[in-house]
Amino acid sequence: MRTVNSPFDKIEKLRDSVIQHGPSSDRIYLMKAAKSDGAVLPQALLKIAKQMGYSKIFAKIPENLTDSFESAGYREEATIPGYFNGKASCHMVSCFLNPERALETRESVVRDVLHTALNIPVLKGEPDPLPANHTLRLMTHDDTPQMATVYRQVFASYPFPIHDPAYLKDTMDSHIRYFGVLEDEELIALASCEMDLESAAVEMTDFAT
């Protein structure tokens, strides 16, 4: 039986590693694999997933842990070359406790997205300037009420409380930089940079227009 009651995911320590989990995404995400945890992580994650009733485990791991995860039934879904400090690759692996979770139910959407992405011209030189009444800038605490409004309009649900200005302020002060486009004084688009300072890596996420 699942025991998580909050609609939002939790970020917490698993030994020396960091995981995110909750009912919204129905999965565990291994965000940071500590070297000290090594080969015990695959089974430790499986134990928690079974206890909580989650249907999937998703892990972001260095190459030296791939054999341990694959032996435990995880499969690789993607690789990011040079993710760790511009040198070592990052491997994205998954384990599906519910086989139906591994099935793609929107194949036509995936094909359309891939077709669009593969046919976008590679940007050379500077991007086109924004229209005269548009501004791109770093968001501050004063912008968080408008940011929360945009996120409420775009995301009906989300694993974290990005609809709450207080949450946005807290993440600004820790590890996330938000950038927005304003039309005159109205915020119309957002994206964020979630920083992994130890790995010298950034995930671009939370795109909303």
Amino acid at 164: D
Residue pair 77/92 in contact (Cβ under 8 Å)? The answer is yes
Closest CA to 33 of 16, 47, 51, 8: 16
CA–CA dist 180, 189 (Å, integer): 5
The answer to whether the Cα torsion of 167, 153, 160, 39 is positive or negative is negative
Amino acid at 183: E
CA–CA dist 48, 35 (Å, integer): 20
Query: Cα 156 to chain center, whole Å?
Result: 17
3-state secondary structure of 65: helix
pLDDT tens for each residue of 156-208: 888 889 999 999 999 999 999 999 999 999 999 999 999 999 999 999 999 99
**123 band by pLDDT with thresholds 50, 70 and 90:** confident
DSSP conformation class of 51:
H
**127 band by pLDDT with thresholds 50, 70 and 90:** confident
CA–CA dist 118, 176 (Å, integer): 28
Mean residue pLDDT of the chain comes to 92
Check residue 148 and give its pLDDT.
97
CA–CA dist 131, 24 (Å, integer): 38
Amino acid at 55: S
Model-level pTM? 0.83
pLDDT tens for each residue of 130-147: 999 999 999 999 999 999
pLDDT tens for each residue of 50-85: 999 999 999 999 999 999 999 999 999 999 999 999
CA–CA dist 164, 144 (Å, integer): 8
